[in-house]
């Protein structure tokens, strides 16, 4: 299991990304706008750089919601392959069953 601090850090990053999502989108729209002047684009770029580093969605790491495991996490379920298999074997996940052919 991941350390509690790692889980909390990732949760804090998710909250920061959600908090600044609209502001980042607006600044990126100005930067990529063909009608904006060079000065406006420059100001938007500077403002974007001054946002917190953790406000960028690329800083997020998909982690298992149960264990905090960072690898082999299925996005749809937000569970690691191990915990998903355990839940599947218990019958907690509707529509999934062990493969046999």
**CB neighbours of 87 closer than 8 A, spacing ≥ 6?**
79, 93
Structure tokens at 43: 């100001």
The string of pLDDT tens digits covering residues 31-43 is 999 999 999 999 9
- Whether residues 38 and 87 share a domain: the answer is no
State residue 56's pLDDT score. Answer: 96
User: pLDDT band for position 70 (50/70/90)?
Assistant: very high
Total domain count, the chain: 2
- Whether residues 5 and 27 share a domain: the answer is yes
CB 43 within 8 A of CB 74: no
What value does the mean pLDDT take over residues 2-26? 94
Cα gap 79→68, rounded to integer Å: 9
In a domain, 6, yes or no: yes
- Whether residues 75 and 32 share a domain: the answer is no
Task: Note down the domain range covering 79.
Answer: 62-94
State residue 60's pLDDT score. Answer: 93
- Whether residues 18 and 48 share a domain: the answer is yes
The neighbouring-strand residues paired with 74 are: 79
CB 9 within 8 A of CB 70: no
CATH number of the domain that residue 72 is part of: 4.10.830.10
CB 6 within 8 A of CB 38: no
High-pLDDT (> 70) share of the chain, %: 100
């Amino acid at each position: 299991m991941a350390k509690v601090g790692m889980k909390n850090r990732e949760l804090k990053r998710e909250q920061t990304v959600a908090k600044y999502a609209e502001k980042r989108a607006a600044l990126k729209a100005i930067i990529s706008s063909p009608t904006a002047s060079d000065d406006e684009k420059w100001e938007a770029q500077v403002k974007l750089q001054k946002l917190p580093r953790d406000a960028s969605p690329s800083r997020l790491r998909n982690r298992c919601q149960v264990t905090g495991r960072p690898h082999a996490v299925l996005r749809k379920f937000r569970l690691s392959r191990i915990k998903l298999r355990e839940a599947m074997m218990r019958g907690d996940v509707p529509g999934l069953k062990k493969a046999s052919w």
